[in-house]
């Protein structure tokens, strides 16, 4: 019988474990390796950072969830993947053998690429619940003595949605506290225009988000490179359409949250054939690494080229439903391999996104996520805020019940024409 090992227990890793166990043969063993005891729902981190959520409301203990599905759990960091000998080296020096490996680690946050960036420097982060919890403490201090805010995403970033979310959530919280008039806000982004999102825009995302920024008196700087951050000051170079420096900005701030660029985790960074120079895992149409066909990858750790060339380098985001489609394709393709068949399933990489803006929100459907698209829709309204809250509860419910895609979810998504797999 085969041993299928999954590295990571996040948005990609936990559903991967559930679906893989469902598709594995009797007698096959599924093991999850993760450096944390808890799963946390990353999309709720912006709420945690302004004290709208407590971390225990968006966390679940991993071990009992996996034990209930008879999935083995190793709570330890994966130190190195050795694909040539089908082994994962653990932080304690031990090794785990595998027949098939699924890398679902998420990214390493590359704060070190910009001096002064990140929680160890002078800006906050919402990429991890630990960071969001620390940011909430800083936010409480900020509320007592408010001043300018600088928020956004640096050069090389690929996940822009949370930056927009957090900007609007902070703005909403300030208005509720009647402090908005004391807080100038500037959105700094490496995107070529507001609403690009690393996707070349979706529908009228540019016009709608610019309008929302104007309505809320949020200034913006696009094509921006953050050169360094000091205590209370951010140094930004604005570039023109040819990528040449256009203007230097020195932005004062009392509070700042900037999304960093991502890299691959140390376990795969520099492994010949397994990762690219940034540490992301190249895959073929079936989620397999070309150099090692028994190694699959899902989620943010996957290498995807930028949608288009931009004056300042940016990446392509891997959104939730896109990751779920990777998971389903991977589970079915591994089962095919177990049965001695060639893989046939290809993820659609469709994107369905709900971005909460505090009292309202924006939703988009991009089918597929990377253009050209069959569906290219973007909308805004209070209903999105309510839908995001409902989705948080629903996703946590799915994890507790050990179901990656309940039948009623599939019926609804099929009715909307949002499929996980091509040809289905």
- The DSSP element (H or E) to which 15 belongs, if any, is helix 13-23
Identify any residues that bridge with 189 across adjacent strands, giving them in sequence order: 153
- Answer for the pair 4, 31: CB distance below 8 angstroms, yes or no: yes
Q: Which of 308, 281, 277 is nearest to 371 (CA)?
A: 308
CA 307 vs. chain centroid, Å, equals 17
Residue 222 annotated among the catalytic residues of the structure: no
The residue whose two tokens read 């990446």 is 315
Spatial neighbors of 417 by CB under 8 A, at least 6 apart, are 367, 375
Backbone angles phi, psi at 31, to 5 degrees: -125, 135
372 preceded by a cis bond (ω within 30 of 0): yes
Rounded CA gap, 227 and 268, in Å? Answer: 28
Identify any residues that bridge with 294 across adjacent strands, giving them in sequence order: none
Three-state DSSP class for 362?
Answer: strand
Spatial neighbors of 411 by CB under 8 A, at least 6 apart, are none
Q: Which of 135, 210, 195 is nearest to 353 (CA)?
A: 195
In 253-403, the DSSP E strands lie at 255-259, 262-263, 295-297, 351-356, 361-367, 375-380
Three-state DSSP class for 380?
Answer: strand
Catalytic residue among 127, 222, 301, 353: 353
CA 348 vs. chain centroid, Å, equals 18
Catalytic residue among 127, 159, 222, 301: 159
Active centre residues (catalytic): 159, 353
């Amino acid at each position: 019988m085969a041993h299928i090992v999954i590295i990571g227990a996040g948005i990609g890793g936990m559903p991967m474990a559930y679906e893989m166990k469902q598709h594995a043969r009797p007698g096959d063993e599924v093991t999850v390796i993760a450096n944390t005891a808890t799963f946390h729902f990353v999309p709720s981190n912006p709420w945690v950072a302004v004290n709208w959520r407590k971390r225990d409301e968006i966390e679940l203990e991993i071990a009992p969830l996996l034990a209930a599905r008879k999935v083995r759990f190793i709570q330890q960091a994966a130190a190195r993947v050795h694909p040539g000998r089908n082994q994962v080296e653990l932080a304690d020096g031990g090794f785990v053998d595998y027949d098939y490996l699924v890398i679902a680690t998420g990214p390493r946050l590359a704060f070190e690429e910009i001096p002064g960036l990140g929680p160890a420097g002078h800006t906050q982060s919402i990429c991890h619940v630990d960071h969001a919890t620390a940011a909430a403490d800083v936010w409480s201090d900020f509320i007592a003595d408010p001043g300018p805010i600088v928020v956004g995403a640096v050069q090389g970033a690929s996940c822009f949605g949370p930056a927009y979310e957090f900007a609007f959530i902070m703005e909403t919280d300030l208005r509720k506290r009647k402090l908005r008039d004391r807080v100038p806000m500037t959105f700094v982004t490496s995107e070529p225009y507001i609403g690009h999102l690393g996707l070349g825009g979706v529908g009228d995302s540019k016009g709608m988000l610019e309008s929302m920024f104007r309505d809320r008196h949020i200034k913006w700087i696009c094509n921006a490179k953050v050169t360094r951050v000091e205590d209370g000051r951010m140094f930004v170079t604005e570039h023109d359409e040819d990528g040449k420096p256009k203007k230097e900005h020195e932005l004062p701030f009392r509070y700042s949250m900037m999304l960093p660029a991502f890299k691959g985790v140390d376990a795969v960074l520099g492994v010949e054939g397994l990762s690219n120079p940034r540490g992301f895992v190249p895959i073929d149409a079936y989620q397999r690494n070309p150099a090692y066909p028994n190694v699959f990858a899902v989620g943010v750790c996957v290498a995807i080229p930028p949608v288009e060339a931009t004056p300042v380098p940016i990446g392509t985001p891997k959104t939730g439903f896109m990751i779920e489609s990777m998971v389903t394709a991977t589970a079915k393709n591994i089962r095919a391999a177990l049965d001695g068949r060639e893989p046939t399933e290809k993820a659609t990489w469709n994107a369905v996104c709900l971005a909460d803006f505090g009292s309202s929100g924006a939703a988009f459907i991009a089918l597929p996520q990377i253009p050209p698209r069959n569906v290219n829709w973007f909308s805004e309204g209070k209903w999105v805020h309510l839908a995001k809250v409902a989705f948080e509860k629903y996703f946590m419910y799915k994890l507790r019940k050990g179901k990656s895609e309940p039948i009623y979810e599939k019926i609804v998504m099929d009715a909307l024409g949002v499929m996980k797999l091509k040809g289905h």
